[in-house]
Structure 1
Amino acid sequence: MSLRPEGKQSSLCAGWYEIDRIRHVQDMVFPPEHERFPNMPCGLQSAKLQERKYSVFKEENICRVTATGCYARKIISRQPDFTQQKGRLQEGVERLDHIILFLSKFHYEINWIEYN
């Protein structure tokens, strides 16, 4: 997901966040009547982090001068609604009643198939 709504990015399901134990549903796509970005995925900077009470532009939040989006990516990657969302590939495979396993990268000489 990009910081800004422009560019190529995938659409996400509606997310949620909690403030004072109240769950707020958050659309990840702009509404059709939006003036600049109708039906386009929202960027992290435009709405998602600001609604969750985070600021992308504070000086202490910037990791490096050249890495503008690393702080936003770290925050969003730890949010429970983002960690619970499945990818498009996983949803498609599970819809067909198959099991999908995402294993870590491995060295070809330490392949677990060779040991069975």
Structure 2
Amino acid sequence: MKTPIFIDGNCRFCRFCAKVLRYMCGEKIQIEFQGSDVYQSYVLKYPHPNWEVDSIKMVRGNQVLIKSKAVEYVLSLAPWYYQIFQIFFFLPSRVLDKGYDFIAKNRLIWGKSVDACEL
């Protein structure tokens, strides 16, 4: 069964990140954007306050993982040659989440997007 990964925006940077995740994990994941029917069904099935956070999201067990925790789990689904990137996850979660927030805040600049992000 594919693991659903929920991406919050639909700007150029978000679509690029979704493409990278698909390339890394292949058939193990299913990328869905917020607002899709699959997303809505998961929100109803797994009530959790993390659904309100603008971030990458995934469900593991009964938990809704966001930000660096979600990225860490997705990376664990990737083949062995991508596992070298897990070295970053030795840093504390709050430091990784601050980095994630910085990237998310500036994603329109880095994506050089003329498209407006949904957020």
Higher relative contact order (CA 8 A, sep 6+): 2
Q: Larger strand proportion, structure 1 or 2? A: 2
* TM-score normalised to structure 2 length: 0.31
- Highest CA radius of gyration, 1 or 2? 1
Q: Larger helix proportion, structure 1 or 2? A: 2
* TM-score normalised to structure 1 length: 0.32
